[in-house]
Amino acid sequence: MIAARANRVWVQAPGSDGLFPAGETGRESREQKMPIVTIQQGPRGVEQKRELVEKVTAAFVEALAVPAESVYVWIQEYQPENWGAAGKLTADR
């Protein structure tokens, strides 16, 4: 899990019980940090998703100083009839 609060990026490391400032996991520093990023969005093409995963991974590598191999990106896609904004179902816009 990742959240932005008070101009800081907070992450939840696998197996931890809470959110920690980016770069800290609440575990001993000798353990590998493994950020997991979940993106919820409407349907996109596979090329767009490839680029998104590439750029999100690069951002985490830069921000957290972790190897790219440790960054996991999950994409959850939702059809317009399955989400809404501003009180309206997206399919009805």
Q: All domains of the chain, ordered by start, with CATH?
A: 2-17+34-83 (3.30.429.10)
Average pLDDT score over residue span 50-77: 95
**Confidence category of residue 2, pLDDT binned at 50, 70, 90:** low
Kindly report, residue by residue over 3-17, the tens digit of the pLDDT.
Answer: 544 456 667 666 666
Is the pLDDT reported for residue 86 higher than 90? yes
58-76: b or e for each residue (b if 16 or more CB lie within 10 Å)? eebbeebebeeeebebeee
How confident is the model at residue 29, as a pLDDT? 47
How confident is the model at residue 33, as a pLDDT? 74
3-state secondary structure of 85: strand
Kindly report, residue by residue over 33-55, the tens digit of the pLDDT.
Answer: 789 999 999 999 999 999 999 99
Average pLDDT score over residue span 18-30: 56
